[in-house]
Chain A
Amino acid sequence: MAGSTDTEAVGYQTGPYGFERGRPVAIQVGALAVFVLVWWAGALVTPQNLLPEPPAVLTVLVSDVTSGRVFELIGQSLRHYVPGLLIGSAFGMAVGILVGWSRTAELSVGTVAGILRPVPPLAWIPFAIIWFGLNDRGAAFIIAIVAFWINYYNAESGVRSVDDQLLEVGQSLGTKSDLGLIRRVVLPSALPELFTGFRTAAGQAWMVMVAAELLGVPGIGKYLWDAANFLQMQVVIAYMLVIGILFLLSDRLIKLVEARALVWR
Chain B
Amino acid sequence: MEPKTVHDRSDTNGADPDSVAPLIRVENVSKTYEGETGPVEALTDVNFDVDSGEFVSIVGPSGSGKSTIFRIIAGLEAPSEGDVLVNGTPVTEPGPDRGMVFQDDALFPWRTAAGNIAYGLEEVGPPDGFTVDERIEYCLELVGLADKADAYPKELSGGQRQRVGIARALAVDPPILLMDEPFGSVDARTKASLHRELLDIWRETQKTICFVTHDIEEAVYLSDRIVVFSNAPGTVLDIVPVTIDRPRNRTGDSFTRIKADVLSYFEDSDEP
Contacts and interface: CB of A to CB of B under 8 A. Distances in A.
Interface of A: 1-12, 163, 165-166, 168-175, 184-185, 188-189, 191, 262-265
A6 B109 contact: no
Nearest to A192: B110
Main secondary structure of the interface of A (DSSP, over half): loop
Contacts of A185: 108
A6 B187 CA distance: 11
Which 3 pairs from chain A and chain B are nearest by CB? Answer: A174-B123, A8-B157, A173-B120
Contact of A1 (B98, B102, B156, B197): B197
Contact of B100 (A4, A168, A174, A189): A168
B82 interface: no
Given A8-B187, A168-B76, 9 more contacts: A1-B163, A2-B141, A6-B193, A7-B159, A169-B100, A169-B168, A174-B120, A264-B109, A264-B110
Interface stretch (B2-10, B46-54, B88-96): B88-96
Contact of A174 (B153, B155, B172): B172
Given A171-B93, A173-B120, A174-B172, A166 B106 contact: yes
Contact of B190 (A7, A12, A163, A262): A7
Nearest to B199: A1
Contacts, number: 102
Interface in B56-115: 74-76, 93-96, 98-100, 102, 104, 106, 108-112
B119 interface: yes
Interface stretch (B33-41, B142-150, B208-216, B259-267): B142-150
Nearest to B143: A1
B148 to A, nearest CB: 10
B145 to A, nearest CB: 9
B197 A4 contact: yes
Contacts of B111: 188, 264
A3 B93 contact: no
Contacts of A5: 193
Given A2-B141, A4-B144, A7-B187, A265 B109 contact: yes
Contacts of B172: 173-174
B110 A189 contact: yes
Interface residues of B, number: 48
Contact of A8 (B74, B109, B158): B158
Given A2-B144, A163-B106, A172 B94 contact: yes
A14 to B, nearest CB: 13
A265 B104 CA distance: 17
Given A8-B159, A165-B102, A264-B109, A173 B168 contact: yes
A264 to B, nearest CB: 4
A160 to B, nearest CB: 17
B95 A174 contact: yes
A193 to B, nearest CB: 13
Contacts of A168: 74, 76, 94, 100, 106
Contacts of B99: 172
Contacts of B189: 7
B212 to A, nearest CB: 15
B193 A4 contact: yes
Contacts of A12: 155
Contacts of B1: none
B20 interface: no
